[in-house]
Structure 1
């Protein structure tokens, strides 16, 4: 079977999909990932065949300019771009820019199935255009199979003025995609489905299936210290990839000053962000640049982060308590789920101070309830169907 995977060009949007692509390839299916910008190369380094569906222009840079700077409209840009900026926010830009190329790649590939994450509008449009069945994969810890209100609150990827224009411009017609199932990778106690549970989507009758979240953050040659058990509690600190690009790294100053005064080993994973404004780090801080979380999280006792969906889900896979200082987008919703489940704590980053960070991290390290709750969620996740099982289930439906 030829399976086209379509995803938007963001780390947090594409990386959760890669274990599913691997599962399909390992089962003997031909796969192709349709994406663009920096993520095209990132995905290729993950061993995947990739089609760059919007070459020649960096849509991720366009997105950052729109959200961060309120970039003035280009009078020569296509109408769908203007509609996307006006009505559908950042994800609309991906729909406007990537749909035509995704359809073209899928047609040339001869796709028998189209798989896409829940927030990528080019996926269902491509499936409809190709007349191929679709499999939608949820990729956010804060969104539940049972609550689809986020679609109207954030983006309606199947309707609206932009989608209507894209359908007309590309000759797709009015037919909806044939969604054979939607995948929920959340633990049951965090809004997801039990391994033996199935939920029917009220919009179109498609079933929701549970799936174990498997973190993928890239590969790495392991530093020697990673495999050693730390002499004192190891605490991870990260802001992901979007927050530094949008708001800078100044919020790290309070966190590092707080942890610098504690008897812990700190691993700061800040990617390629410029950290010069932070000055000299405390002696117990190890700055590692871009080191995949999955490389060193197993040895951590806690993590402090911004609330990105993938960054929230990865510690759950390893049973690590977390402190969330939520930034924007769905970050506050991720923080709410962490606190509600008892796997961590949260605080408004705009009002947090050194004493508060120390108090909250100390609680995570000393109060056994957070570790117990995180380990309970870990056991739930390990009991859910693997990506390989879900791919096999989808293929069986189509045969």
Structure 2
């Protein structure tokens, strides 16, 4: 079977479903991943055939510019592009820029099934345009970022936005609707997800929901030797992900590093390509590693401090690691609240956090047994969920019954 995977061009929007693409390929299916910007190259690095469906501009940089107020001249842009850039966050922009190319890629590939993330309206529009079934996959602790305001965290379940309706008309899709085979929920049961025995149809449209085990994928790397060993003193991971530094800079790291610098711990700072010069000299117990996949060293960590990105929240859950979240924007506050409510970590407003607060909260994560116990429980829940391979096989079986 030929399966088109359609994802939005953010690391946290694409990497969570790479294991599902691997499962399809390992099962003998032909696969093609349709995405854009630097995530296209990153996905190719995961060993996948990739179509860059919007190679003409860097849509991710356009997104950052629209959020930071550094917009470029819109005069030469299509109507839907200008409309999307003035709208609520990135997802309308992705719909405007990526839908036509994704449909073209799917048609040329001969896609028989579209698998798309719940954030990405382009995937649903592509399945509708091609007249093929679709499998919708959640990639967030909050289920779908598309329902959350990029800046405020406010949830909006109003349905298709204006840009989606414009693209339907422009591309001749009309009112065609792609009916999902199922909606795949990778969340731990106690954090909003499904128990295998609790599978149920969606009350809105009767589409079944299936649970799936979250498998972390953060990229590949040649591991440094130290990452293979658990250190003598607690190892603390620190990251702001890929989006927060682009939008808000790294100033929130100052309090984190000052707090951790005064503790008897080893700190691994994974800040990617972010400019850390404003932080000055780093504390002696901080190891700055640039980009190093979290899955490379999280198993040897005792805690993690991060921004609340959904993938960054889910990875320590998979490994049973307590976490401190300093939530940024978008769904970051939702992730933080889920972590606090489940008892697997703590949260604090990054605008008011200081070194003493960081030190106190991390000390609690290291010394209070309840956090580690809750994290271990969630890890066990996730391990009991159906694997991506079994979910993919189930979807193909359901599709074959339709034919």
Shift of 1:203: 2.6
Q: Give the structure 2 partner of residue 61 of structure 1.
A: 61
Show the counterpart of 2:306.
Answer: 305
Q: Kindly state the Cα deviation for residue 143 of structure 1 after the two structures are TM-superposed.
A: 2.9
Q: Distance in 2 between matches of 1:53 and 1:266?
A: 39
CA distance in 1, matches of 2:232, 2:325: 25
**1:188 equivalent in structure 2:** 189
Change (3 A) 1:150 1:276: closer
Q: Determine the structure 2 residue equivalent to 1:211.
A: 212
How far apart in 1 are the matches of 2:336 and 2:231? 27
Give yes or no for the alignment of 1:198 onto 2:203. no
Partner of 1:388: 389
CA deviations over 1:289-340 (Å, ceiling 9, x no partner): 0000000000000000000000000000000000000011100000000000
- CA separation of 1:208 and 1:268: change in aligned 2, threshold 3 A: same
Report if aligned partners of 1:4, 1:115 keep a CA contact under 8 Å in 2: yes
Residues 226-276 of structure 1, C-alpha deviation per residue, up to 9 Å, x if partnerless? 112201000000000000010111110110011010000000000011111
Q: Deviations over 1:330-381 (max 9, x none)?
A: 0000000000000000001111111111000000000010000000000000
TM-score (norm 2): 0.95
Contact residue 127 and residue 133 of structure 2 kept, 8 A: yes
Query: Could you say which residue in structure 1 is the equivalent of 2:285?
Result: 284
The answer for the alignment partner of 1:176 in structure 2 is 177
In the alignment, the residues of structure 1 paired with residue 58 and residue 72 of structure 2 have an alpha-carbon distance, to the nearest angstrom, of 17
Residue 166 of structure 1 aligns to a residue whose secondary structure is helix
Map residues 232-251 of structure 1 onto 2, 5 A cutoff.
232-251=233-252
Residue deviations 1:48-81 (CA, integer Å, cap 9, x gap): 0000100121010111111111626612211111
CA distance in 2, matches of 1:225, 1:108: 46
Q: Distance in 2 between matches of 1:155 and 1:12?
A: 20
Q: Is the 8 A contact 2:92 2:164 kept in 1?
A: no
| C-alpha distance in structure 1 between counterparts of 2:84 and 2:198, whole Å | 37
Q: CA deviation at 1:84?
A: 1.3
Q: Would the aligned equivalents of 2:5 and 2:31 in 1 still touch at CA under 8 Å?
A: yes
CA distance in 1, matches of 2:73, 2:14: 27
Structural RMSD (CA): 1.7
| Secondary structure of 1:102 counterpart | helix
Q: Which residue matches 1:18?
A: 18
8 Å contact from structure 1 (residues 157, 163) kept in 2:
no
Count of residue correspondences: 397
Structural mapping, 1:309-348, within 5 Å: 309-348=310-349
Task: Check the 8 A contact 2:321/2:375 in 1, yes or no.
Answer: yes
Q: Distance in 1 between matches of 2:204 and 2:82?
A: 28
Unaligned runs of at least 5 residues, structure 1? none
Q: Which residue of 2 aligns with 1:27?
A: 27
Q: Which residues of 2 match residues 342-381 of structure 1 at below 5 A?
A: 342-381=343-382
For residue 103 of structure 2, what is the aligned residue in structure 1? Answer: 103
